[in-house]
Amino acid sequence: MKTAICYYSRHHGNTLKVLQAMAQDSQVDLIDVTRRQAVRLEDYDCTGFASGIYYGTFQESVLQFARQHLPEGKAVFFVFTYGVLRPSYTKVIGQIARERGCPVLDEFGCKGYDTFGPFKLVGGIAKGHPDGQDLDNARRFYQNLKETYNRGAYR
């Protein structure tokens, strides 16, 4: 499965750590949406969108990148890190995928060290995350995703 993951990771590089764990031993291109302007997601079997959560959703440049580059019907998945878990973080990116008729294979989220705003005063929350367990879970998530894809239900 040839995979691209289009990501934004700026606050503490938390999301990138998770993606690097997923990409270990697999054919995954990590695409920083703030650097790469031209990309052909048509050339990949599957596309991930990944972000730290900023004000309750994926960072705007990832949403914009998806609106601009996501081909119709492409299998997608989502990866995110957050300070505090809420159920709605993939709502907007999920909506973009649905509008393109893209099947959503799965999503992975875990805590990421957060020193935004008042949290800085207390030394931050979700300290130490993503930790070793989070990264193991991320690796397992991507292995399972490949198996799901290879079973062929989404082609």
Q: Which residues bind ligand FMN (CB under 6 A)?
A: 9-16, 52-56, 81-84, 112-114, 116
Cα→Cα distances 95→5, 139, 149, Å: 18, 26, 21
Closest to ligand FMN by CB, 84 or 153: 84
CA dist 13 and 73 (Å) reads: 30
The phi, psi pair for 106, rounded to 5°, reads -175, 175
Closest to ligand FMN by CB, 8 or 149: 8
Give the shortest CB-132-to-ligand FMN separation in angstroms: 16
Q: Are 70 and 101 in contact (CB under 8 A)?
A: no
Closest to ligand FMN by CB, 11 or 74: 11
Q: Which residues contact 81 (CB under 8 A, 6 or more apart)?
A: 14, 15, 18, 52, 53, 109, 110, 111, 112, 129, 130
Give the shortest CB-60-to-ligand FMN separation in angstroms: 11
Give the shortest CB-63-to-ligand FMN separation in angstroms: 14
Closest to ligand FMN by CB, 76 or 83: 83
Give the shortest CB-23-to-ligand FMN separation in angstroms: 15
